[in-house]
């Protein structure tokens, strides 16, 4: 949790220009992840194994959430 609080403190101390750059980087990263997810889902649908893909994705997200809770 200390690392998270350090990040918050660092973000709050950014100049307005650097804050805008950070925000744009986050937006870009989010869109890239969304594009990757859409592409993976499209490929899974084309192969006919979309349900398997969704189950694996759910399991990965559940594990990621559990790791965050332990940190």
Q: What is the pLDDT along the chain (71 residues), one digit of tens a residue?
A: 689 999 999 999 999 999 999 999 999 999 999 999 888 878 777 777 777 777 887 877 776 655 555 55
Domains identified in the chain, total number: 1
32-49 burial, b at 16+ Cβ within 10 Å, e below that, comes to: eeeeeeeeeeeebeeeee
CA 39, 51, 27, 6: dihedral to nearest 10 degrees? -130
Do residues 50 and 57 lie in contact, with contact meaning Cβ atoms separated by under 8 Å?
Answer: no
Structural domain boundaries enclosing 53: 2-70
């Amino acid at each position: 949790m200390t690392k998270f609080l350090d990040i918050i403190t660092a973000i709050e101390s950014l100049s307005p220009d650097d804050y805008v750059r950070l925000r744009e980087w986050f937006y870009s990263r989010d869109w890239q992840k969304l594009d990757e997810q859409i592409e993976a889902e499209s490929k899974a649908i084309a192969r006919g194994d979309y349900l398997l893909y969704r189950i694996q994705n759910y399991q990965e997200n559940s594990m990621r959430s559990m790791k965050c809770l332990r940190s």
